[in-house]
Amino acid sequence: MTIDSDPLAGFRAMLGAERVITDHAARELGSQDVYRSGVLPLAVLQPHSTAEVVGIVQHARRVGVALHTRGGGMSYTDAITPQSARAVVVDLNGMTRVRAIADGDLVATAEAGCTWAALDAALAPRGLRAKFWGPMSGARATLGGGMSQGAATFGSGRHGSSAAAALGFEVVLGTGEVLDTARIGAAEREAFFRPYGPDVTGLFTGDAGALGIKTAVTLQLEPRPAAQDSVSFAFTDFESMSKAVAAVARRGLATEIFGVETALARVAAGDAALVQDVRRLLQVVRAQGSVGAALRQCWRMIRGGRSFLADSAFLAHFLCEGADRRRLRLDLTAIREAVAPLGREVVNSMAAVVQAKPFPSPMVVGPAGKRLLPLHVILPHSAVAGFHADFLALRDRERARLQQHRAEAFVVFAAVGPSALLYEPVIYWEDEWLPWLSATLAEEYRAFMKPGLANPEGRAYVESLRVEIIELMQRHAGAHLQIGRAYPYLSGRSTAFAALLGDLKRAVDPDGIINPGALGLTR
């Protein structure tokens, strides 16, 4: 390593000055995620090819500059934010090409900056989609980010997280070498079968970008379903809801299962929701397969209104798909039979909207423009009740301080595969917006969502609450997606585990320049 008086000169020679962005506003946006700011980087780099990423890594090694890879920027765990001033942000939004689609083999390869929505749009005319096909933020979130951080939503009810769809990665290591985790043989056949020997692809799923820079992702596809519908239920208590979700998830009856604490739904069903109701109704109409189906769904939504929000504690939505209407009806009937003894069926407005427009404009702020911080823990169904009780006790204890700091905390949840529930406390508080939030919020929301006044005391309180909630999650031995730097991944691990991961980090990134600090790793 040599300390260069102008470490950016080599990057400019390689990319051109126009793709080495050094103005303050761009660097500030590059340093932020949904939650907060990192250290201002030297520059934001915009490579357009794997070869350029290789060159960036090689030059960064020579001049001792840390590299923080950025896709959609939807992290809230300091996963992508620079931690020192001698760093650059590598923005992969210029690498969006879908390289190959093998219809017969149900495999596709796309560059890491491709969004989940863009890949889905490319696959749709072929009657295909990825096995896991994106988070709710997929209009902005990228394949590389979803695989590095871990993601859940579409397909998670049956298949689990984004890792379930990964067949292989093209990764630029911290040595400057390019590793393809699943190419086979002298002919370098593209990835098609992941469990061939030790799962090298698996090492790079959920690595928080600490083990290399993903430049392309190969995914397992599946035929697109011919029919879809949904059912929603209201529950008087958490225990009934969690039993219902577990019963449906274990049988694989729904492709997605998610829900909210009804108190949050009541807060969200204000001016913003009312303004969008007509637009959402039109989206649902366009998504139905026939005029009759569209009219029936619209009548259900209009007749149902929001009356069910008044007398329930939790809402759960079960989204179903089938190869034909007959199979879909069988699954819907089975869900109703499993859930009816535990809850009350209500209008499926939210579920229908999600199926009609699965990738909406990202909501990077909460109701009325409040700042938001989602946290989450993944637990086996058998352990969720204990965590929920402890979280409620914590929230009850903090009720006065939450009110004092103009903050609220609610619960969101989703099934992740047959065995686990993702439990997500979301904290909302009044505060000014980060520049990234202002730049990212879609125009359609700006009429009814405005930033609050600066609330530094509230911000500090939210940070202390974040730490306490994560400590509670650790005591319950939960797992996490999007680990970043927020969740203590190495805490409680055996010496052998930590040593193995440390050795791997040193092998693939000997200078410690690739997203240092993520997963708790440095060098």
Q: What is the CA radius of gyration of the chain?
A: 23
Instruction: Say if residues 41 and 88 touch (Cβ distance below 8 Å).
Output: yes
Question: Mean pLDDT over residues 295-311, rounded?
Answer: 53
State the pLDDT confidence band at 272, using cuts at 50, 70 and 90: very low
Question: By the 8 A CB rule, do 112 and 95 touch?
Answer: yes
For residue 458 the two structure tokens come to 């509230």
The model carries a pTM of 0.92
The beta strands (E) that lie in 6-106 are given as 20-21, 43-45, 66-70, 87-91, 98-102
Lowest mean pLDDT segment, chosen from 4-18, 98-112, 456-470: 4-18
Q: Would you give the DSSP letter of residue 322?
A: E
**Which tokens is 479 given?**
């797992």
Mean pLDDT, rounded, of the chain: 91
Sketch out the chain's domains with CATH numbers.
Answer: 9-94 (3.30.43.10), 98-223 (3.30.465.10), 227-356 (3.30.70.3450), 367-475 (3.30.70)
Tell me what pLDDT residue 406 has: 95
Q: End-to-end alpha-carbon separation of the chain, Å?
A: 15
CA distance 508 to 523: 10
Phi, psi of 412 (to 5 degrees): -125, 155
pLDDT in tens, 186-229: 667 788 999 999 999 999 999 999 999 999 999 999 999 999 99
Q: What are phi and psi of 426, to 5 degrees?
A: -120, 125
Q: How many CA atoms lie within 13 A of 364 on its CB side?
A: 30
- Compute the average pLDDT of residues 84-94: 97
Amino acid occupying residue 146: G
Mean per-residue pLDDT, 511-519: 96
Query: 385 phi and psi, to 5 degrees?
Result: -60, -40
- Average pLDDT of span 63-70: 97
Among 62, 73, 4, 60, residue whose Cα is nearest residue 34: 73
Q: How far is CA 8 from CA 28, 43, 60, 64, 85, in A?
A: 17, 8, 9, 11, 13
pLDDT in tens, 395-453: 999 999 999 999 999 999 999 999 999 999 999 999 999 999 999 998 888 877 889 99
How far apart are alpha carbons 162 and 148 in whole angstroms? 9
Nearest to 108 by CA among 168, 60, 149: 168
CB 14 within 8 A of CB 55: yes
- The answer on pLDDT for 292 being more than 90 is no
Short-list 262, 271, 466, 261, CA closest to 367: 271
How far, in Å, CA of 14 to CA of 88, rounded? 15
pLDDT for res 58: 98
